[in-house]
């Protein structure tokens, strides 16, 4: 499966690294949810959003997957604007699929 991302040459090194990490979390389900979300938005994230994304990518894969699939609530101390946005998008119909398959 190829990653639906902007060409690497279009992204700065920090964005390329974060995009790669988003697609290689550990479990396929979380890879698809987080990776697809990041791929759609990585080119337009602000520095503050990139900082928050780095923190999100440090969270345990199992916990992040459970929160994004709404099996457990996101702890209040971790709920930030980007994670909240990710939660909404990951629960839309076709989340994790490339745009042409949605």
SS (H, E, C) 36-84: HHHHHHHHHCCHHHHHHHHHHHCCCHHHHHHHHCCCCCCCCCCCCHHHH
Assigned architecture for domain 8-97 = Orthogonal Bundle (1.10)
Q: How many CB atoms lie under 10 A from the CB of residue 73?
A: 10
Please answer whether residues 53 and 17 qualify as being in contact, where contact means their C-beta atoms are separated by less than 8 angstroms: no
pTM: 0.82
Question: What are 11-35's pLDDT values in tens digits?
Answer: 899 999 999 999 998 899 899 999 9
Query: Rounded to whole angstroms, how far apart are CA atoms 68 and 59?
Result: 12
Question: What are 58-83's pLDDT values in tens digits?
Answer: 999 999 999 999 999 999 999 999 99
Segments making up each domain of the chain, as ranges: 8-97
């Amino acid at each position: 499966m190829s990653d639906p991302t902007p060409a690497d040459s279009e992204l700065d090194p920090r964005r390329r690294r974060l995009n790669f990490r988003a697609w290689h979390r550990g479990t396929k389900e979380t890879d698809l949810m987080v990776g697809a979300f990041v791929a759609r938005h990585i080119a337009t994230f602000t520095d503050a959003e990139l900082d928050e994304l780095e923190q999100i990518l440090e969270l345990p894969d199992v916990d992040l997957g459970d929160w994004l699939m709404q099996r457990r609530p996101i702890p209040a101390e971790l709920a930030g604007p980007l994670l909240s946005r990710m939660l909404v998008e990951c629960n839309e119909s076709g989340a994790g699929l490339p745009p042409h398959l949605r």
